[in-house]
Amino acid sequence: MSSLYDLHTHSILSDGEMLPIELIRRMAVLGYTTVAITDHVDASNTTSVIESLNQVRESAKIYGVKLLCGVEITHVPPSQITDLAKSAKTSGADIVIVHGETPVEPVAAGTNHAACTCKYVNVLAHPGLITREDAFLAAKNGIALEITSRGGHNRTNGHVVLVARETACQIVVDSDAHAPHDLLDERAKFVVAKGAGLTDAECKQVISLNIDRFLVS
């Protein structure tokens, strides 16, 4: 599948404002065919979040959206990330993202490195001033680095693009949506990518990424 996607969104299952199916419906109207709901988790709620999201998978399909039931591992000690990511996949998560070392939150040092070395992680969200060494590891392990439209987290988008280019690391463009006004139409998504420093050709390639192929790579 290579149409409009968002791999990082939140519902009322964590700190979002929308029911999962409302989020899906709004995304469908904007033209999305693949949406990951990735609510914040730690060891206390990983399984319950995945089980809850699975309950709306069929409803999403009726709206023409492939729902990826996922999690965003958030503020978990770096030494525990691999075990929790593995647990999430074992519990049925289609996608696991890790809340990276954004410059606007006190994320523990070493979180980016732990995520980039974990075979159960698919996306490192808003990775801040990620090092080239960690980006090389992400590329080796098939982990994408996120360009985000979310305020604060997006301060380092340009750096992420530069490092991803140098290390041949996959980039994804996500909204990190928590509320209806956070959602991006296709034009807004292109602007986020272009504003981060991608060329027009790179923007088109990233925005039309084949998510099915990416997740099995």
CB-based burial, 102-126: b 16+ in 10 Å, e otherwise: beeeebeeebbbbbbbbebbbbbbb
Domain at 90, CATH number: 3.20.20.140
At 58, which amino acid appears? E
With H, G, I as helix, E, B as strand and everything else as coil, classify residue 83: helix
In this prediction, residue 1 carries a pLDDT of: 39
* 8 Å CB contact between 128 and 154: no
What total number of domains does the chain contain? Answer: 1
In this prediction, residue 50 carries a pLDDT of: 98
In this prediction, residue 162 carries a pLDDT of: 98
* 8 Å CB contact between 46 and 91: yes
* 8 Å CB contact between 27 and 34: no
With H, G, I as helix, E, B as strand and everything else as coil, classify residue 64: coil
How many of the other CB atoms lie within 10 Å of CB of 216?
8
CB-based burial, 129-157: b 16+ in 10 Å, e otherwise: ebbeebbbbbbebebbbbbbbbeebbebb
Task: Return per-residue pLDDT of the chain as tens, 217 residues.
Answer: 348 999 999 999 999 999 999 999 999 999 999 999 999 999 999 999 999 999 999 999 999 999 999 999 999 999 999 999 999 999 999 999 999 999 999 999 999 999 999 999 999 999 999 999 999 999 999 999 999 999 999 999 999 999 999 999 999 999 999 999 999 999 999 999 999 999 999 999 999 999 999 999 7
Q: Tell me the pTM.
A: 0.97
For residue 184, the enclosing domain spans 5-216
